[in-house]
Amino acid sequence: MKRVSATTLLLLAGLCFLFVQSAVAADKEWINAKGYVLYQDERGDMVRKTFSAYRDVYFPEKPKKLGHFICDHERILTQIPVREITDIRKDPLSKSVWIKANCGEYHAVIDQDLAYALTNMKHIEMRYYNEITRQEEVGFILGIDLHEIHFTDTTHVTF
């Protein structure tokens, strides 16, 4: 019995070590951009949620920089700084997106979904003001449910 317990403890310690290693490899940062997202909730309704910041994750082994939106524009891997973007709209039938930026409008392609292209995660984690509790809260929206991202103030984005 002691042999099984020791083996189990070693296995758990190894898993904890791997979890800590992956957490250390990723660098999470809050991007101080204000705006709103349009997403589809579990009932199928389109919902608008206003945010005051979103969380981006930097992985050293991935090319995406913090505070940037990564996409293929004219078959070239492109990173557009968030401080230049005003709107990102997903084409519901393909992996195409329309990006409005200070210097024009782009038609681009993303690998997975809007959240992944913006945050390196399968969801977008954001800070928002909850009218019911009258407090700033943190929540997330799955990238597959996200349809549009609109930035209203990116003057405080430092990346």
Reported pTM: 0.80
What is the pLDDT, as a whole number, of residue 4? 45
The phi-psi region of residue 77 (left if phi > 0; otherwise alpha if psi is between -120 and 50; otherwise beta) is: beta
Domain presence at residue 139: yes
What is the pLDDT, as a whole number, of residue 25? 59
Domain presence at residue 48: yes
Each residue's pLDDT tens digit, 109-131: 998 999 999 999 999 999 999 88
Domain presence at residue 140: yes
| DSSP sequence for 43-75 | TS-EEEEEESEEEEEE-TTS-PPTTEEEEEETT
Domain presence at residue 1: no
Domain presence at residue 105: yes
Q: Residues 6 or more apart from 22 whose CB is under 8 A from it?
A: none
Low-confidence stretches of the chain (pLDDT < 70) are 1-25
Q: Can you give the residue range of the structural domain that contains 100?
A: 25-153
Radius of gyration of the chain (CA): 19
Domain presence at residue 19: no
Instruction: Please count the structural domains in the chain.
Output: 1
Domain presence at residue 43: yes
What is the pLDDT, as a whole number, of residue 159? 81
Domain presence at residue 14: no
